[in-house]
Amino acid sequence: MKPLNPARWLAVVALTAGLTVTTSARADSKHPSDTSLRGVDLDRATVLDLQHAMNRGRFDAVELTRFYLDRIRTVDRKLNSVIQTNPEALKEAERSDRRRRHGAGGPLEGIPVLLKDNIDTLGPLRTTAGSEALLGARPSREAFLVERLRAAGAVILGKANLSEWANFRSSPSSSGWSAVGGQTNNPYVLDRNPCGSSSGSAVAAAATLAAVTIGTETDGSIVCPSGLNGVVGIKPTIGLVSRAGVVPISAQQDTAGPITRNVTDAAAVLAAIQGADPRDPATVPGGDRDYLKALDAKALKGKRIGVWRAAAGDDRDVLATLDAAVATLRAKGATVVDGVTMEGMDEAGEAEFTALLTEFKHDLNAYLAATPGRHPRDLAELIAFNEKHAATELRHFGQELFEQAQATTGDLDDPEYRALREKATSLARQAIDTVVADNRLDAVLAPTNGPAWRTDLVKGDDFSGFVSSSAPPAVSGYPAITVPGGFARNVLPLGVTFFGPRFSEPTLIALGFAFEQATKARKPPQYLRTLP
C-alpha cells in the first residue's frame, strides 16, 4: 500500500494444460535459476499445472511445500523477501494430501501461498506490518481472505516482507525496508529497489519462493512492485476482497490482491479470496465468480482500448515498451485509441493525500484498539514507541507521515475531510468513466512503471522521472491488472497496466491473459549484483 507524499502524488485449462517439463528432476539445488521439481519447472508452471501434477502423483503437497521452504532458506539470502516461514506449513500440506487421497479438496488444494505481513494470521505466524511495535500483537481471528485461502485448500507458507506500515510512515523512505525484515532486494539486479509496499510478495513471486503470493495496495503497492519485479498483479475493485484483518491505511482505498508469475494464477487466486464478509461492509455478494472462465487468448480481438501515453513521461525504454504493447494490441485485432487523458487527476491526487492522513489515523486506531496483545493502542502510542526504539525503528528514516496523521482530527465526519475525500474519489471516477464512455472503450492501457532505481537507505527512493499509472484506479476504487511488458536496458522489468470501470475484472483478466500469451514478455530473474 505505498502512497506517495504530496510532491510524488502529482509526479484456462485448455490453454494452460500440460506440465512445463525440464530435463532436471532435482529438488534440492541451491542455484537460484534451478526451479525444477521432478521435471516440472515451477517458475513456468501454473497452479493448474501443479494440481495436475499432484493429482497424477508426480509430487505431493508436502514435497512441493518443502521445495519452497528449502528455496527460501537458500535463495532468499540474496533477496530478504520473507519475514517468517510458517512452522506449521508441512503439517498443513500433510492435511492437504490426505484430502486429495480421499478425493476432496478445493481449487487451490496444496498450493503454497506467501502473505504480506500486514495480513492477520493465528498461531505461530506473527503479523507485524514490519514494525517491532506489533511483535507482541496476537490477532484473535485470521483475515477473511486467509480463511478463504484455507477453505480453498491453500497451504500458508509464511509472511513476506514489506515497506514498514505499508510505507505510510516517513518521507523519504526506502521501499521494501522494515525494521523487522530489513531491506528487500530486486531479484533482477540486487542493488535495485523492488518498489513497495508489497515488495516482499512481488520479489518472492518473481523468484519462485512460493506458488503464489498476496499483496495489498492503497495506491500502487500491488502494481508497482509487480511491474518492477516482472510479475502479474491484480488490484481489485474496492469491495471485491474483504479488508477485515488487514492492517489499514484507508478503508476508502485499501485492498488485497494476488501477485503471481502469470495471469492464470492471478485469476485462480482472486476467485478464491473474493467474497462478501460481514466484517467489511464494503464487500458485495457474488463470491462464486470464476475468473478462470475469463482466460481467452483471443480476447483482444474486437476490443477498443485507450492508451494513456502521457503516463510514460519521456522515458525511452518505457515508451518503447508501450509502443510494442500497442503494436501487439493491433496485431491481435484490437482497436487502439491512442493519447487518451485522465482529466482531473492532479487535483484528485492533492485531495487524496490529505484525506488519507485523516483516514489513516482513524482506521489504524480502530485496528490497534481491536487487536489483542502487547502493542501500542493507538497512533500516539505508536509514535512514542518509535521514539523510544529509535535505534532500530528510526535508524534510517523518520515518522513524518505518522506525525502529520496524528495532527488531524481522525474524524471521518469532519466536513473538511469529507469534502476532500469526495473530491478525490469523484474526480478519479470521472476520469475513468468519462474516457471509457466517450471513446466506447473496454479498458485503458498505460505503463505500470519505469526502471527500478538503486536502493538508498540514506536518501530513500529515487522518484526522479518516476513512472506510474496507479492513481486513477486506486483513488476511484476501480480495478487494474499489470502484466510484464518488456525490459529497460534488457534487464530491468517494465510492466503495462489495463484498468477500467468498477467490477470490470473479467474483462481486464481476459485482456491481460491475451496480451501475456501473445508477448511471452516475462523472463525469470538473473540475480545480478549490479549494473555497469
Q: Which residues are catalytic?
A: 116, 197, 221
DSSP calls for 357-403? HHHHHHHHHHHHHHS-BSS-SSHHHHHHHHHHTHHHHTSS---HHHH
Helix (H) or strand (E) holding 182: strand 182-183
Helix (H) or strand (E) holding 113: strand 112-116
Per DSSP, the chain holds a count of helices (H) and strands (E) of 17, 15
Sheet holding 82-85, edge to edge: 82-85, 155-160, 112-116, 212-217, 255-260, 232-235, 480-488, 492-499, 443-447, 304-307, 335-338
Crossing angle for the helix pair 47-55 and 61-79, to the nearest 10 degrees:
140
β-bridge partners, 468: 449
Crossing angle for the helix pair 505-519 and 263-273, to the nearest 10 degrees:
160
Compute the distance between CA of residue 523 and CA of residue 518 in angstroms, rounded to an integer: 14
Nearest residue to 325 (alpha-carbon basis) of 486, 487, 499: 486
SS3 227: helix
Nearest residue to 387 (alpha-carbon basis) of 403, 372, 374: 403
Nearest residue to 322 (alpha-carbon basis) of 441, 515, 519, 485: 485
Compute the distance between CA of residue 165 and CA of residue 178 in angstroms, rounded to an integer: 8
β-bridge partners, 259: 213, 233
SS3 157: strand
- Cβ within 8 Å of residue 240, ≥6 positions away: 255, 270, 274, 283, 284, 479, 503, 505
Compute the distance between CA of residue 242 and CA of residue 148 in angstroms, rounded to an integer: 10
Q: What are the start-end ranges of the H helices in 152-275? A: 199-206, 223-228, 263-273
SS3 12: coil
Nearest residue to 488 (alpha-carbon basis) of 188, 52, 216, 260: 188
Phi, psi of 248 (to 5 degrees): -95, 160
β-pair type (232-235, 255-260): antiparallel
